[in-house]
Amino acid sequence: MKYSLIACLMLCFSIASAQLSVRNNAYIYVNDEILFVEDDVNLEEASTKLYLRNESQLIQGIGTTGNSGIGELSIYQNSDVNQFAYNYWCSPVGGILTNNNTNNAFRADQIDDPLFITANPVDSGASSFTAGLNGTPNMTSAVASLIISSRWLYTYVTENQYSGWNPLNEVSDITAGLGFTMKGMGAFGSTVNQIYDFRGKPNNGTITNEIAAGQFTLIGNPYPSALDAADFLWDPQNSRLDEVDAPPAGTTGAIYYWEQDPANSTSHFLNTYVGGYASYTCTQPDGLDNIVESYVPATYIFYLSNGSPASTPPAGTGSRTARRYIQIGQGFMVEGQTGIPLGSLVYLENSHRDYIKESNLSSSDFFRSSQPNLSTTNTSESQYDENGNFIVPDDYKRFRVIVSFNELYSRELLANFHHSATEGFDYGLEAKRPSELASDAYWTQNNEDFVIQANAFDVQLRIPLIIDTEEQQPISFGIYDIQNFEDNQGIYLYDAEYNTYQNLRHQNYHINIEPGNYTERFEIVFTPSETLNIDDFKVDKLTINQNNSIHQLFVLNPNGLDIKSIEVFDVAGKRMLNGQYDGISNRYELSTHNLSDAVYIVKVTSNTNIVKSGKIIVKN
């Protein structure tokens, strides 16, 4: 069905159509609902309008043609940072200077000043722009009084240096899908919640932007709907992980969000800026659309006048959390994979779009609004604990390491564990360090630095924890968000300088350290070496056998190793059997009668957490 509207229509319910055409001075007003159009939207004349209000969103089908017309979609987005703090934006609309079927470039002068928001929410007036340092908020909503400073409009394309910021003005073209910066409104300490009205042709379909190996590009959500970060990161055009021998392409599998410290945004001088990048990644959605999210907050950094991080200690840690759904207008950084050819692109598609309200805080925390309204319906509550941390499935383990420098600031690192993790880079389970500090902590792999790292768990695993210090200072190590580890499984910090093991589950580790780059001194381990020396011999003597004639699994223990558990997993990592033991025996048995014919992994764990694994074939 094709809708052609010649009169105004107010929608307070969901609607779907094959095509949507609005003509002859008509408008559609959508209130707190989803508007789904399978194909294209045609806002024919300049007088035709489509208003999305109260968290309404427009979703369009996969494989559609581009939208057309010179009418306007109008959608609000807000910001409550002050005039000294940057926002990262991405416009959900493009220009309407010509009638075509492509996604046109956006200009900042398409951001209008909403008028009479309560009484007449369809009106708006053109914003004004100033080349001066400070914008002026609309405090009355009675007349068009919003003034935006064009001094702080920038894009950032395939760069890793401060010089890569490209200055704009209000009539500069910004390619569809490309992000841009704009500072907020109000003096330091104010709480101005400025609403911006984005007006233009709604973006639709495939949107691409350039990326380069080892360099960052500021892009964002280019649609008038939420964007699924999982679908975006795992799009085959962005990951290329589903193609054998495919040339490298796409991003490193992480999204980086800028967050500026509101307590320290007090001037426009670069050397007073305090902010940093939060890091987000996630695993590929399965058949039930489940994912595992990994996130670490921003470490706030002071900056020098040339844009490089200052040696001045940072001022804290970001308070906002990135989750799966990226809201309308949100900009973010992505980094190109190492080795991608020149001219590589990052792709955004209609298939990445979802209807998720910004107020559904458990699904999506917006990096511009610190106090969103909570939704009365929250479908994702059970995915997060009371501290907002993602709860991983049973076949994953994780913990977070907090390294505090001189009691002034901390670097948070996330350690993921899963049987699928490799010794190389694991897309969707790891994230590179977005910026470095003079005194810092990080994981390392193949000469690259990470804030999120993944390993296949083994109690004999030793994970290097790199520490850089610019000056002598006290540092401390602690852990939290410990998931799916047995209560008696130690998580130790090994200090090679003193040959000591500190179980971080029991107590933080404190030390005074000299300046230097410590690449071999600190490790995260799970069994102290003195225990390994005793039990390595005993675990090697364990024998794992399957007797299919009597449907029994046998573990022979001739040297009297104290066995804590025997677990049986299928090849997908699902635990099928779990035997727990209190005493020492020379022989352990488990019935496999209820298992399907298949190959299984057997894991035998001692009370000192030494593990031996083996494969069995069950034929019942």
Cα separation of 276 and 310, whole Å? 12
Cα separation of 357 and 369, whole Å? 13
Instruction: Fill in the amino acid letter for 398.
Output: R
pLDDT in tens, 11-37: 555 566 678 999 888 999 999 999 999
Cα 295 to Cα 236, 416, 564: the distances in Å are 22, 11, 33
Cα separation of 45 and 58, whole Å? 20
Q: In what helix (H) or strand (E) does residue 230 lie, and over which residues does it extend?
A: helix 229-233
Q: Where in the chain is the domain with CATH 2.60.40.3080?
A: 537-618
- 538 sits in the region (left: phi over 0; alpha: psi -120 to 50; else beta) called alpha
pLDDT in tens, 99-154: 999 999 999 999 999 865 555 788 888 999 999 999 988 876 667 788 999 999 99
Does residue 480 surpass a pLDDT of 80? yes
The DSSP bridge pattern shows strands 147-149 and 128-130 to be: parallel
Q: At 108, is the secondary structure helix, strand, or coil?
A: helix
Cα separation of 139 and 192, whole Å? 8
- How is domain 537-618 classified at the CATH fold level? Immunoglobulin-like (2.60.40)
Instruction: Fill in the amino acid letter for 397.
Output: K
Q: At 164, is the secondary structure helix, strand, or coil?
A: helix
Instruction: Fill in the amino acid letter for 296.
Output: V
Residues 6 or more apart whose Cβ sits within 8 Å of residue 345: 208, 209, 210, 211, 237, 249
* pTM score of the predicted model: 0.81
Mean pLDDT, rounded, for 503-519 = 90
The DSSP bridge pattern shows strands 598-606 and 611-618 to be: antiparallel
Residue 371: pLDDT band with limits 50, 70, 90: very low
Query: 211 near 238, Cβ under 8 Å?
Result: no
**Residue 484 in tokens:** 């799916």
pLDDT in tens, 143-192: 778 899 999 999 999 988 877 899 999 999 999 999 999 998 877 666 67
- Own/partner contacts of 568-573, CB < 8 Å, gap of 24 or more, are 568/592, 568/595, 568/600, 568/601, 568/602, 568/603, 568/616, 569/419, 569/600, 569/601, 569/602, 569/603, 570/598, 570/600, 570/601, 571/598, 571/599, 571/600, 571/601, 573/395, 573/418, 573/419, 573/420
Residue 451: pLDDT band with limits 50, 70, 90: very high
Cα separation of 253 and 283, whole Å? 9
What value does the mean pLDDT of the chain take? 85
Q: Write down the pLDDT at residue 118.
A: 56
Instruction: Fill in the amino acid letter for 83.
Output: Q
